[in-house]
């Protein structure tokens, strides 16, 4: 409904007479409709088997949809291509009235090309999708189900009538549901969500303040991401890309809250940004938070199997000064509590900020000494005992306090650098490995010889930095401490300085 509303009220396109929503129509229904059309063929993409009888479609319903495609002359419509054509940016799902003043009907597919592809390759790929759109338009025109008629009533009200005769309506800025102010339930209640949570503010702004054609902006944001050199391994998610795009265009301005430098934080300057950065939160500090400072959060906090047991990873007999291992929700609740008590706009760092803070670590990476992708000798985490209550394991440190591999930056910020230790970041679920500086959830491809790594004796890792998988791209479950992978995930806080 929201997409139909935007197409009708926010776009400059001519008003459609009918729009195909696909309601009540699945892929095999489209195959059936195609089989009734002359010169349309249904074929198995893997075996080459051709279906020419309607009853065979019913037998094929037990197969994965991607097996079957529609051919018409030299054009092909596959299941996955059809998904990319499910958009109202183009006109493949639209019919105009016979007397409508349409300059030119155009088909659009939501497909995006990295800069590694040549112009010839992108042109061929785009043409394949546009030809498939012609097939899709021909098929859906032949059926009644899934269509809604557009019945304008006034400049700000349009009625919709579907194929059964049922009615609905749309208006400008139509929303499917009321806004959910707590986007992290049941893991966090409102009181335990940091007010500096960028994700929450952007979602709220999009719901109440956004002006424009949302689907078109999302499409433009994706195109911009790849045109600027973005790759699948760097992909941070649709919301993050849209936020960056609207920010760059000056249409969205994130709230900027600053505060003076205070005890427990150190100043870090990079680019045009000035941050206050804490050290990692210790086991002792986190236990105090859970047991004395926020008993309400500790009481409602989901337990295994919904969320890892914090006690199993922060035991009294472990190294109390070493970093705590927590879930992303625990880290956020801690940040919210610090924000209230100290009146500071604290939050978790972004990946861009974390990499800027640790810039000197990047230059010292050496593929021949790091032991990637793993090395038992460099590991500091071991599996703890199984809980008698819920059967899950925790983690603990396997070394003494003096053996914790601390390293400090030029700004005197302490980092525990180990192959099995990471830090939580923004957005939700992003974890960066403290040793190889890539996504915690995947092997460091920037050290893989098959990924174009140079001679192992070369110290400069920047040559293969383009192979690194972003922490925003390959995230972990925010309800995990990393224990199921034999890892620990800690956190630190940052805020912007005046």
The dihedral through the CA atoms of 243, 247, 250, 256 has a sign that is positive
Give alpha helix (H) positions in 171-289.
Answer: 198-208, 214-227, 238-248, 283-288
| Tokens 């400069």 sit on residue | 460
Using DSSP, state whether 231 is helix, strand or coil. coil
What are 183's two structure tokens? Answer: 């986007």
- Of 485, 473, 483, 197, the closest CA to residue 331 belongs to 197
Report pLDDT for 368: 45
Mean per-residue pLDDT, 41-60: 92
pLDDT in tens, 278-330: 999 999 999 999 999 998 999 999 999 999 999 999 999 999 999 999 999 99
Minimum mean pLDDT among 334-338, 355-359, 395-399, 461-465: which range?
Answer: 461-465
What are 258's two structure tokens? Answer: 């600053």
Return the bridge partners of 72, or none: 40, 75
Report pLDDT for 366: 58
pLDDT in tens, 11-34: 988 889 999 999 999 999 999 999
What does 179-204 look like in DSSP terms, one character per residue?
A: --S-TTTTT--GGGS-TT-HHHHHHH
The DSSP secondary-structure symbol of 348 reads P
d(CA 385, CA 391): 9
The dihedral through the CA atoms of 441, 445, 449, 454 has a sign that is negative
CA distances from 440 to 83, 219, 474 (A): 31, 29, 8
- Phi and psi for 493 in degrees, rounded to 5? -115, 150
Mean per-residue pLDDT, 222-248: 94
| Tokens 């804490």 sit on residue | 278
pLDDT in tens, 181-194: 888 999 999 889 88
- Of 200, 201, 196, 494, the closest CA to residue 353 belongs to 494
Burial of 89 from C-beta contacts in 10 A (0-12 / 13-18 / 19+): buried
Residue 490 pLDDT exceeds 70: yes
Half-sphere exposure of 278 (CA within 13 A, CB side): 23
pLDDT in tens, 385-400: 888 888 889 999 999 9
pLDDT in tens, 454-469: 444 444 444 377 788 9
Return the bridge partners of 430, or none: 425
43's CB contacts (< 8 A; 6+ apart) are 49, 50, 51, 68, 69, 70, 71
């Amino acid at each position: 409904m929201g997409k139909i509303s935007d197409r009708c009220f926010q776009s400059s396109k001519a008003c459609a007479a009918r729009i195909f929503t696909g309601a009540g129509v699945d892929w095999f229904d489209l195959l059936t409709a195609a089989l009734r059309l002359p010169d349309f063929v249904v074929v198995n993409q893997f075996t080459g088997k051709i279906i020419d009888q309607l009853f065979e479609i019913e037998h094929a319903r037990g197969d994965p949809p991607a097996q079957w495609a529609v051919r018409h002359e030299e054009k092909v419509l596959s299941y996955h291509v059809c998904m990319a054509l499910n958009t109202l940016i183009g006109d493949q799902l639209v019919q105009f009235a016979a007397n409508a003043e349409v300059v030119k009907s155009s088909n659009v597919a939501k497909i995006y090309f990295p800069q590694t592809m040549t112009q010839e390759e992108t042109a061929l790929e785009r043409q394949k999708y546009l030809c498939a759109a012609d097939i899709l338009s021909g098929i859906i025109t032949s059926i009644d189900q899934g269509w809604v008629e557009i019945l304008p009533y006034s400049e700000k009200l349009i009625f919709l009538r579907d194929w059964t005769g049922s009615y609905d309506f749309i208006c400008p800025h139509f929303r499917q549901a009321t806004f959910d102010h707590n986007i992290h339930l049941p893991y966090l209640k409102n009181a335990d969500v940091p007010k500096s949570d960028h994700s929450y503010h952007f979602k709220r702004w999009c719901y109440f303040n956004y002006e424009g054609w949302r689907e078109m902006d999302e499409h433009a944001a994706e195109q911009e991401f790849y045109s600027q050199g973005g790759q699948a391994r760097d992909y941070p998610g649709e919301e993050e890309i849209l936020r960056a795009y609207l920010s760059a265009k000056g249409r969205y301005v994130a709230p900027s809250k600053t505060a003076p430098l205070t005890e427990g934080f150190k100043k870090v300057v990079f680019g045009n940004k000035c941050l206050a950065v804490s050290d990692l939160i210790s086991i002792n500090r986190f236990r105090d938070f859970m047991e004395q400072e926020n008993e309400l959060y500790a009481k409602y906090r989901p337990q295994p199997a919904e969320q890892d047991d914090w006690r199993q990873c922060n035991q009294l007999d472990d190294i109390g000064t070493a970093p705590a291992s927590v879930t992303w929700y625990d880290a956020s609740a801690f940040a919210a509590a610090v924000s209230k008590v100290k009146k500071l706009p604290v939050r978790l760092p972004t990946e861009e900020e974390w990499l800027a803070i640790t810039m000197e670590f990047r230059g010292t990476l050496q593929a021949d000494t790091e032991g990637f992708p793993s090395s038992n000798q460099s590991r500091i985490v071991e599996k703890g005992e199984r809980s008698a209550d819920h059967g899950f394991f925790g983690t603990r440190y396997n070394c003494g306090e003096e053996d914790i591999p601390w390293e400090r930056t030029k700004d005197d910020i302490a980092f525990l650098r180990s192959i099995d230790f990471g830090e939580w970041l923004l957005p939700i679920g992003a974890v960066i490995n403290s040793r190889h500086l890539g996504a915690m959830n995947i092997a460091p491809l920037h050290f893989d010889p098959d990924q174009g790594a140079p001679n192992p004796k070369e110290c400069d890792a920047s040559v293969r930095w383009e192979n690194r998988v972003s922490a925003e791209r390959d995230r972990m479950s925010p309800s995990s401490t990393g224990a199921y992978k034999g890892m620990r995930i800690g956190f630190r806080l940052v805020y912007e300085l005046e």
